[in-house]
Structure 1
Amino acid sequence: MSLEFLNDKSWDFPFFKKLASNDTGEAPGHQAGMVITRNIRKFFPALIGQPTRSNPTIEHYIRALLLVDGKPVDTVTTRYQI
């Protein structure tokens, strides 16, 4: 897995998002990860590439630190995709 895209200066600052029930698995459904809504998408780096019929999403795997009440509880690998 190449993390070269993280060298982009757009990744300099952490972001925080309160997770909805869909993001945590408490809601029924098949969501692949947390939702980045359109109103905050401008704060995230663009992903280079074009979706194709065989690969309909552009994605990179990233490491994410999970916090509960400001305390770290886990570090996970998750997909950053559009």
Structure 2
Amino acid sequence: MANHKSALKRIRQSAAKRLQNRFYHKTARSAMKNLKAEENKTTAVEQLPKVISLLDKLAKKNIIHKNKAANLKSKLAKHVNSLA
């Protein structure tokens, strides 16, 4: 265990940040899953900007890599455009 006050504080901060990051990442994954399961094009078109925004926020906070976010957004857009 750490001996310095600053190291103990850093442990507390990183644990709190880890929980926040897990929550944001899980929320985005659930939103993507719901969008992929959507079969109605109009609702999918409404959901797409919200999901893209979540992915951009994850990339901005370095929770996921920016290229991964771009790949996911591209796949989701393809899916939405393929709906009839």
TM-score where L is the length of structure 2: 0.24
Q: Relative contact order: is structure 1 or structure 2 higher (C-alpha 8 Å, sep ≥ 6)?
A: 2
TM-score where L is the length of structure 1: 0.24
Rg larger in 1 or in 2?
Answer: 2
